[in-house]
């Protein structure tokens, strides 16, 4: 049971508590089994504290420190735990459900049989941590760091995993189905949500068909002037029930550029390439065109400019349409059907008869 004196100090607020901790560095707080709710405990120092069996609910624990603390069977539900630090904590059968753990630090922590259901784990750091037999169902994993971590027998149904870091990470026996259903197990946290969608969403085939039959990839420069033209093309395509996808050649990305272009192109019905003021586009377009013979390419250019020298290379490919020259953005939009869409659709019909 919790030490009554320690509970009394805690109830006087964070400042009193942290001062007491500084003045008594050798005394480990005992809050085991305590019930603590609806308190502002921001930046509190729980390092080395015994919180076994305690219940901390609906508290502000942002930037709190749980280093070397004991969190066995602790209830930490519905708390704000942004930027909280759990280095070397003992986390076993701990319940973090419905908590905001954005930017929390669990580096090198072993986490056993614990629950993070419906929690926000965005940008949390689990580097070199070990998560065994845990439940993160329905949690947000945006830019979460799992570098060199180990996730084993973790339930991940309904997670939103985006841009997670997982270099040298092992994800084994991840369950993608909800409790009570036949288990489906995968070994990659990022593809898990996609696999479940394919298996259980009756509309997924329609979604895929819609993308491949309506998507139009628009390539070009994202300088202020050129971006306005690309946006207008996008709006016109949308009005005609297409699904426009804009791609900026100039912005650096974490993924290989050629790979990204090829992936987007293969999802598209046809491609519009604005080669006006061409800079990095020629080289990237070269690799894309050569590898996608079934995808029509409709190049466009402002009439006052000349095609870059390398463009002659593309004329040998029958799936590359003649360059459409336009006087002004207004004339381009006025003639978008006859100049771009109709020739591209004709080439689609030619490439995919019937």
Instruction: Quick: pLDDT tens for 200-219.
Output: 666 666 666 666 678 898 88
For residues 157-176, give the mean pLDDT: 89
The gap from C-alpha 310 to its chain's centroid, in whole angstroms, comes to: 37
pLDDT confidence of 254, banded at 50, 70, 90?
Answer: very low
- Transcribe 128-181 into DSSP letters: T-EEES-B-TT-EEES-B-TT-EEES-B-TT-EEES-B-TT-EEESEE-S-TTS
pTM of the model: 0.66
pLDDT confidence of 283, banded at 50, 70, 90?
Answer: low
Residue 309: CB partners within 8 Å, gap ≥ 6?
none
Share of the chain above pLDDT 70, in %: 86
For residues 313-317, give the mean pLDDT: 73
Distance CA 200, CA 97 (A): 25
Residue 120 has pLDDT above 90, yes or no: yes
What are the structure tokens assigned to 256, written together? 């290989």
Nearest Cα to Cα of residue 219 among 176, 264, 170: 264
Residue-level pLDDT at 133: 95
Residue-level pLDDT at 181: 78
Residue 252 has pLDDT above 50, yes or no: no
**Is there a contact between 278 and 227 (Cβ–Cβ < 8 Å)?**
no
Residue-level pLDDT at 265: 82
Nearest Cα to Cα of residue 326 among 350, 306, 304: 304
Of 40-49, 147-156, 269-278, minimum mean pLDDT range:
269-278
Q: Which of 26-35, 170-179, 186-195 has the highest mean pLDDT?
A: 26-35
For residues 140-162, give the mean pLDDT: 93
Distance CA 182, CA 172 (A): 18
Whole-angstrom CA distances from 120 to 94, 96, 187, 306 are 16, 10, 22, 52
| Edge-to-edge strands, sheet with 91-92 | 91-92, 110-112, 130-132, 150-152, 170-172
Residue 298 has pLDDT above 70, yes or no: yes
């Amino acid at each position: 049971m919790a030490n009554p004196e320690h509970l009394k100090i805690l109830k006087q607020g964070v400042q009193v508590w942290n001062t007491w901790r500084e003045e008594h560095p050798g005394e480990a707080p005992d809050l085991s089994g305590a019930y603590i709710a609806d308190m502002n405990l921001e930046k509190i120092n729980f390092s080395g504290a015994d919180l076994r069996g305690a219940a901390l609910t609906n508290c502000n624990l942002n930037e709190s420190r749980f280093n070397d603390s004991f969190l066995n069977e602790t209830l930490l539900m519905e708390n704000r735990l942004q930027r909280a630090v759990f280095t070397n904590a003992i986390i076993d059968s701990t319940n973090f459900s419905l908590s905001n753990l954005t930017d929390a630090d669990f580096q090198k922590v072993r986490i056993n049989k614990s629950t993070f259901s419906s929690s926000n784990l965005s940008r949390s750091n689990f580097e070199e941590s070990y998560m065994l037999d845990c439940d993160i169902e329905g949690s947000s994993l945006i830019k979460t760091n799992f570098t060199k971590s180990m996730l084993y027998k973790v339930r991940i149904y309904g997670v939103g995993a985006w841009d997670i870091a997982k270099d040298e990470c092992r994800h084994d026996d991840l369950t993608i189905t909800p409790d009570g259903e036949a288990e489906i197990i995968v070994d990659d946290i990022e593809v898990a949500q996609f696999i479940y969608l394919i298996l259980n969403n009756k509309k997924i085939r329609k979604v895929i068909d819609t993308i491949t039959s309506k998507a139009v990839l628009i390539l070009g420069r994202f300088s202020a002037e050129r971006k306005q033209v690309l946006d207008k093309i996008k709006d016109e395509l949308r009005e005609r029930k297409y699904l426009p996808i804009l791609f900026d050649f100039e912005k650096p990305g974490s993924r290989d550029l050629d790979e990204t272009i090829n992936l987007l192109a293969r999802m598209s019905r046809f491609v519009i390439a604005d080669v006006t003021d061409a800079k990095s586009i020629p080289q990237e377009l070269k690799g894309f065109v050569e590898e996608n013979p079934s995808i029509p390419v409709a190049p466009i250019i402002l009439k006052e400019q000349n095609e870059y020298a390398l463009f002659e290379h593309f004329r040998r490919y029958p799936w590359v349409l003649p360059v459409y020259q336009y006087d002004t953005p207004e004339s381009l939009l006025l003639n978008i059907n006859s100049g771009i869409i109709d020739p591209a659709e004709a080439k689609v019909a030619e490439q995919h008869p019937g």
